Amino acid sequence: GSGKTSLLKCTLGEVKVQTGSIYYNNQEIDENNRDEFLFNYVSYIDQFRSCFTNMTIKEHFIFYSRIHNILINKTIIQKYLDIVNLSHIDMNKSASKLSVGERKRVLIAIALMLKKQIILLDEPTASLDENNIELLLKTIRDLSSQGISFIISTHNDKIVEFSDTVYEIENCNLNKLNIKEQERSSGDVIDMHINKPKNIMYFRFKNFRLIVLLISICIFGGVAISFVSHTISSSIVYRLSASQN
């Protein structure tokens, strides 16, 4: 109740900023460029781990890749699942059937596929046991060392301990507590460059099966209407002919 989620939503534009400004790479983010900024750079994972209940893990990757004009295949999907320690997960499994911790890591994997440079995590350790907390923190730590920035709202001391920079919200003030400069690994850095569409285009249908289903219903409906119409009209013509005779 101190305003952690509200602060994140100010960045997303869901809560209007009354005073002050938001900058990224020395560029002010305002109403004119916020959508483009969020689309290209930011991924927000809320504390409810929102997933589409009628889509598999694979279909989640396909859905977001189409919106961002990215070509992917099964091998690429598996690569990103491996990065977040989900190599054992069947990508044809419904995302809603995953555990809370697994869903969070799937959403992080999708953010990596989309080449997001900033990942906002709202209370990421909520409803997680100790084992899943450790797996999530390991994922965050590994990716942070490769150039991904995580902005995390939390009251969990474990996250505070390994964070580079810590702010505390107290009495409506944002106070900087400490800075711990951690060494970045000199290993492979994730490539953050990608050719994305200039305009954001959202698909009317979430996946190909819905399109096929709609076409099938239209064809079946057209045939059925034609058959019924022909039968009724033939009956009427026959009765009129018999009446005249």
User: Which residues lie across from 42 on neighbouring strands?
Assistant: 118
pLDDT, tens only, 111-138? 888 888 898 888 887 777 788 788 878 8
Sign of CA dihedral 227, 232, 238, 240: negative
176's enclosing H/E stretch is strand 173-179
Q: Return the pLDDT at 221.
A: 92
Q: Return the pLDDT at 182.
A: 47
CA angle, residues 131, 134, 136, in degrees to nearest 5? 110
Start-end of H helices in 68-182? 74-83, 100-113, 130-144, 157-162
List the one residue out of 96, 112, 87 whose CA is nearest residue 48: 96
Average pLDDT of the chain?
Answer: 80
CA angle, residues 88, 92, 94, in degrees to nearest 5? 100
Give helix 100-113 / helix 74-83 axis angle, nearest 10°: 120
Q: Check residues 66 and 101 and name the one with the higher pLDDT.
A: 66
Q: Return the pLDDT at 220.
A: 93
pLDDT level of residue 61 (50, 70, 90 thresholds):
very high
Secondary structure of residue 159 in the 3-state scheme: helix
Q: Return the pLDDT at 12.
A: 85
pLDDT, tens only, 177-225? 865 544 444 445 455 555 555 555 544 444 567 778 889 999 999 999 9
Secondary structure of residue 69 in the 3-state scheme: coil
Distance from C-alpha of 209 to C-alpha of 20, rounded to nearest angstrom: 46
Start-end of H helices in the chain? 4-12, 34-41, 57-67, 74-83, 100-113, 130-144, 157-162, 208-244
pLDDT, tens only, 142-167? 888 878 888 988 888 888 887 888 88
pTM score, whole prediction: 0.64
Low-confidence winner among 6-10, 27-31, 49-53, 214-218 (lowest mean pLDDT): 49-53
Of the chain, the percentage scoring pLDDT greater than 90 comes to 8
Distance from C-alpha of 101 to C-alpha of 136, rounded to nearest angstrom: 7
